[in-house]
């Protein structure tokens, strides 16, 4: 079945004759536009654009444009007639979605009967990359190191701070004692995916105590309970409240100060639409 989105992107690039202007219209990054055009060319086994001077259609590109342009534009117009609410593509952590955001999402649907939220959970860096490529409208995550990306077109709303804890398997030899940083020597410490500011500070603590950085293994927090007795992990303490209260894992008593984490919502300044802003307001109210 033809991928209509590829043809839609092809038409816009052909009309604009420029990747930059096309990316602005589509609300996706320039590399993403280029990749989609290449995918279509691969599917059709032909070159659609002469790239030496802007984006000029080749002979084959002109043939394709004449065949599909009117149909693609007609479909776009038809969809607009029936589109009451724009779907929100929202990304966050699986734990955040299931344990925290369910209340906000339920309220949003109660107030916006025809609205739709497509919720995505993935590895930290994966769905933030999707957000930067405009594949997601907004993400609720731990605050990123803003030196890693262009912040000029991105809005960040702080929602709050949280406490980190070092969670251990109940079979760990570190349970039931005052734990010093040096006690992590020769043990594997799991940290959340993505090098946010708080995680970097924790790694610095390890370095200050001559614990090799490679003792920090970047994996998800899931499965700590099933790991061996040396398994410990730096995690948002709120995520493990039930497991701690049920005695399934232990929050270690450490003799050094753990960094706090900050979390919030990122969304694109040039991609603000009513449904998204309503959802953000509801989420902000929940945390306030």
3-state helix, strand, coil split of the chain in percent (to 5) is 45, 20, 35
DSSP code of residue 139: E
Would you call 127 helix, strand, or coil by DSSP?
Answer: helix
Would you call 235 helix, strand, or coil by DSSP?
Answer: strand
Mean pLDDT of the chain: 82
Structural element, H or E, at residue 23: helix 19-26
Q: Which domains does the chain have, with CATH numbers?
A: 4-82 (1.10.10.10), 88-158+263-287 (3.40.190.10), 161-261 (3.40.190.10)
Q: What was the pLDDT predicted at 178?
A: 94
DSSP β-bridge partners for residue 268: 154
Q: Bigger pLDDT: 51 or 217?
A: 51
Query: What would the two tokens of residue 229 be?
Result: 């007795």
**Residue in this structure with the two tokens 């949280």, named with its chain if needed:** 162
Average pLDDT over residues 81-110: 79
Q: What was the pLDDT predicted at 195?
A: 64
Q: What was the pLDDT predicted at 215?
A: 58
Would you say residue 159 has pLDDT above 70? yes
Query: What would the two tokens of residue 286 be?
Result: 């929940």
pLDDT digits (tens, 9 = 90+) for 211-253: 776 555 554 555 555 555 567 788 888 777 877 888 778 899 9
Could you tell me what percent of the chain has a pLDDT over 90? 20
Q: What was the pLDDT predicted at 228?
A: 57
Q: b or e along 9-40 (b: 16 or more beta carbons within 10 Å of the residue's beta carbon)?
A: bbbbbbebeebebbbeebebbeebbbebbeeb
Would you say residue 63 has pLDDT above 60? yes
DSSP β-bridge partners for residue 251: 167
Average pLDDT over residues 200-217: 76
**Residue in this structure with the two tokens 């599917």, named with its chain if needed:** 43
Structural element, H or E, at residue 232: strand 232-236
The gap between the terminal CA atoms of the chain, to the nearest Å, is 47
Q: Bigger pLDDT: 41 or 213?
A: 41
Would you call 52 helix, strand, or coil by DSSP?
Answer: coil
Would you say residue 140 has pLDDT above 70? yes
Q: What was the pLDDT predicted at 90?
A: 92
Q: Bigger pLDDT: 212 or 33?
A: 33
Q: Bigger pLDDT: 28 or 269?
A: 269
């Amino acid at each position: 079945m033809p991928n209509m989105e590829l043809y839609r992107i092809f038409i816009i690039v052909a009309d604009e004759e420029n990747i930059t202007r096309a990316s602005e219209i589509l609300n996706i990054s320039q590399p993403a536009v280029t990749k989609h055009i290449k995918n279509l060319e691969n599917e059709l086994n032909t070159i659609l654009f002469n790239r030496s001077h802007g984006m000029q259609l080749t002979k084959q590109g002109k043939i394709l444009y004449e065949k599909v342009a009117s149909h693609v534009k007609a479909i776009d117009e038809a969809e607009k007639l029936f589109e009451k609410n724009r779907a929100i593509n929202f990304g966050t952590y699986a734990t955040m979605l299931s344990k925290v955001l369910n209340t906000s999402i339920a309220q949003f649907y109660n107030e916006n009967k025809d609205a739709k939220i497509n919720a995505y959970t993935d590895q930290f860096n994966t769905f933030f990359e999707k957000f930067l490529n405009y594949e997601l409208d907004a993400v609720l995550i731990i605050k990123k190191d803003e030196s890693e990306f262009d912040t000029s077109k991105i809005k960040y709303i702080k929602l709050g701070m949280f406490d980190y804890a070092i969670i251990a398997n109940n079979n760990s030899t570190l349970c039931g004692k005052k734990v010093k940083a040096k006690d992590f020597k020769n043990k594997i410490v799991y940290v959340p995916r993505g090098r946010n500011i708080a995680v970097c500070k924790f790694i610095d603590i390890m370095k200050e105590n001559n614990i090799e950085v490679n003792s920090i293994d970047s994996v998800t927090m899931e499965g700590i309970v099933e790991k061996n007795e040396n398994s410990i992990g730096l995690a948002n303490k709120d995520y493990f409240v039930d497991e701690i209260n049920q005695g399934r894992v232990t929050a270690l008593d450490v003799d050094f100060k753990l960094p706090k984490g900050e979390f919030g919502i990122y969304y694109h300044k040039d991609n603000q639409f009513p449904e998204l802003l309503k959802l953000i307001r509801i989420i902000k109210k929940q945390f306030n």
